[in-house]
Structure 1
C-alpha cells in the first residue's frame, strides 16, 4: 500500500503535509547528487502527483532544486541551515586541529560524533591519508547502538544497556567490527565547560592494522586531545 494523502491535512493542523515534505528530503543519501521523480516515488512510497506538489513548496524555499535534466537536487537552504547548526557548536576552530593531530600521529581517521535522538552524526571528520582507509563524510548519520562512538554517546547520555556502566567507569569504548566487519575504533567522551556531554571523539581504522597496540596508542592520544579541548572549552564558558 502506498503512503499518500488519505487523510486531510487539516485533521492534524497541517502536520501531515510537513511530515511528507520531510520524508521526501529524507530519501536522499550521501551519494545521491540528484533523484528523478520516479526514484523519489519509489523511495518515498508517494504518488508522483503528491511529490510534484511537495517539491514545488520545497523548491520555493530552497530545499530542493530541479535541474534541466529533470533531477531533483538538495538546495542551498539545507547548506545554510547545516552551516548554522555547526556554528551553534562553535567548535570548528578547536576540533579540527585536534583531528588533524590525531590523524598525523595514528595514520588513521579521526572524528567527532554527536547524538541526535537514536542516531549519531559525524559532525567533524579528518580522513586518513592512506589509500585504503575507513572513509566517512561529515554529516553522515549512523546507528547509536553500534560502534565505539555510538556506545560512548549512549552510555554518557543516560544509557542503561549492557556495558554502559563499564564505559562510564573506563572512560572509553572500543569496537571491533561492530558496524562494519573491517573497522575497529576507539572513542572517548568530550564534555563542555559546565560538564555537559558534547560528543564522542574517535579514531577508527581498518581492523587488520588498527591492532591492540595501535588502539592503546590512539586511546592515549584521544585522552590528551580531550584534556586540551576541555581546558579550552572551560575557559570559553
Structure 2
C-alpha cells in the first residue's frame, strides 16, 4: 500500500512480470490437476485431488471451480469430479492435427520390418506413459497399440526406461501411489532406474499383460534427458530374452534417427512431462 500526501491510500500495482508468472503457475497447476485423472482413476474426490497434487486445499477448490466453468471437469457426486466434455473437443483436435515428423514415421516402419513386431512411442505424463505413435506389424497374432492409451511407469519396459532421469523424490512419490497389489516399492524403482541408466535398454515379460513381452529404449531430448520411450511389443513366444541383443540393436538404430529428428524438440519444450 502507498499513502499519498493528500491522505488517499491506493494499492500498488504488481509488476507485469509477477502477474504473468502467477498466471503461468495457475495454468500449470490446473493442467496438473487434470493429469491426475487416468483410466484407473476416472473419478477423484476433492480430498484426493488435494493429496495427489500436493497443493493447498483452497488452491485446489479455486482451480476446480475454474475448470468446471470451462467444462474441463465436472462434478459427479458430492465433492467428487471427473474429466468434463470440454476435453472431447481438444482430443478430437489433437487426433486430427498432431502429426509425427516423416523421419519418425519412417523409423517406426523400418523398425517393424526389422523385428517383425509392433513398434510404439510413449511419452511421459507425470507418473504415466501415453502412446502417441505406433506402427503395427502384419503378424496374425500381434500387439495392438492404441493412441492415447496410458499406463504406469512401473509396469513394462516402456515405462521403466522413462525412470532413467527421475529424481529420488519422484520415485518415492510413485512408490507411495502405486497400488498395494502391484507389489512395487522404492527399491524396485531405484534398481530399474539404475539398470536403464547403465544399459540404456529394458526387456520385460508378462508385466503389462500375460503373454506380452516388451523391449524399449529411452528417447532423449536436446538436453540429454529421457522424455519418451521407443518400444517393440509382441507375444512372449516371439519376443524372447534370447533376442535381447537383436532387439536392442534394432531399437537403437531407430532411436538414433528419431533423436536427430524434429521430434527431439518436443522433448526440449517439455512434452507432457509433469510431476
Pairwise TM-score range, normalised by the shorter structure: 0.5 to 0.7
User: Contact 2:104–2:263 at 8 Å: present in 1 too?
Assistant: no
Alignment partner of 1:79 is 2:79: no
1:229 aligns to what? 258
- Give ranges in structure 2 of 5+ residues lacking alignment: 1-43, 47-57, 172-188, 269-275
Change (3 A) 1:156 1:14: closer
The alpha carbon displacement at 1:136 in A equals 1.6
1:19–1:194 distance in 2 versus 1, CA, 3 Å: same
Alignment of 1:1-237 (within 5 A): 12-13=61-62, 15-16=64-65, 18=67, 21-22=71-72, 45-46=76-77, 58=85, 63=86, 74=88, 76-81=89-94, 86=98, 91-158=100-167, 159=171, 161-232=190-261
**Alignment CA distance shift 1:221-1:183 (3 Å):** same
* More relative contact order, 1 or 2 (CA 8 Å, 6+ apart): 2
What is the CA–CA distance in structure 2 between the aligned matches of 1:124 and 1:235, rounded to whole Å? 14
Unpaired runs of 5+ residues, structure 1, are: 25-43, 65-73
Contact 2:123 2:227 in 1 (8 A): yes
- C-alpha separation in 2, matches of 1:235 and 1:92: 10
Q: Which residue of 2 aligns with 1:32?
A: none
Shift of residue 222, structure 1, vs aligned partner = 0.6
Separation (CA, whole Å) in 1 of partners of 2:263 and 2:131: 23
Contact kept, 8 Å, 1:185 with 1:215, in 2: the verdict is no
Q: Is the 8 A contact 2:64 2:73 kept in 1?
A: no
1:122 alignment partner, SS class: strand
Q: Of the two, which has the highest radius of gyration?
A: 2
Q: Retained in 2: the 8 A contact 1:176–1:207?
A: yes
Q: Does the aligned pair in 2 maintain the 1:191–1:197 contact within 8 Å?
A: yes
Q: Deviations over 1:7-53 (max 9, x none)?
A: xx9x93362463695456xxxxxxxxxxxxxxxxxxx8549xx99xx
Aligned length: 189
CA distance in 2: counterparts of 1:14 and 1:102, whole angstroms: 43
RMSD of the TM alignment (CA)?
A: 3.6
